[in-house]
Amino acid sequence: MARIASLRELKKFLPRKGGGKIVLVGGCFDILHIGHVRFLSEAKGMGDYLVVLLESDKNVRKLKGTKRPIFNQIERAEMLSSLRMVDLILLLPRMRKDDDYLNLVTKIKPDIIAVTKEDPLVDKKRMQAKKVGGVLKIISLTKTFSTSKLAKILGVE
């Protein structure tokens, strides 16, 4: 089972220098579905240690609407922690600025930042990867219902 950690605990759970390639991903992961599982599996295949930045409930509401998230951050973290490819889930506080994310990425120093093909923040994440000497890798989307589409079907949006 993956570790679930806060920002304060970050250093305790990151691998030490030479402990393998760190792959970093981020997201809401509100209703876990096959697209998430395939994305995380492919990201893990790029390195040795997969770190998931899990958005706060406030950020999810800001991004997805007032009825979201469906599952709170701790519940989402528990679901992610049961996936064998995930090594560490980092519970993000409310991140307000791009610099907040950049500072965090600088602390983690991932070798790879993995994103989906249609990530709207791909340019920012590419810049973050470059700043820490890493690379950005793009993963194709799985053709399936998105979390937002599933939420509509459930009548939550």
**Helix (H, G, I), strand (E, B), or coil: what is residue 127?**
helix
pLDDT at 141: 83
State yes or no: pLDDT of 157 exceeds 90: no
**This model's pTM is above 0.85:** yes
pLDDT in tens, 110-139: 999 999 988 999 999 999 999 999 999 999
How many residues would you count in the chain?
Answer: 157
How far apart, in whole angstroms, are the C-alpha atoms of residue 41 and residue 11? 24
The CA–CA distances, whole Å, from 61 to 66, 70, 86 equal 5, 10, 24
pLDDT tens digits for 3-17? 999 999 988 899 887
User: What is the structure's pLDDT at 147?
Assistant: 66
What would the pLDDT profile of 32-85 be if each residue is shown by its tens digit? Answer: 999 999 999 999 999 999 999 999 999 999 988 898 999 999 999 999 999 999
Instruction: Give the residue numbers annotated as catalytic, written as ranges.
Output: 62, 67
Q: What's residue 153's pLDDT?
A: 65
* Total domains in the fold of the chain: 1
Q: What is the CATH number of the domain that holds 87?
A: 3.40.50.620
**CA–CA separation, 86 and 126 (whole Å):** 22
Range of the domain at 50: 3-153
3-state secondary structure 8-46: HHHHHHCCCCCCCCEEEEEECCCCCCHHHHHHHHHHHCC
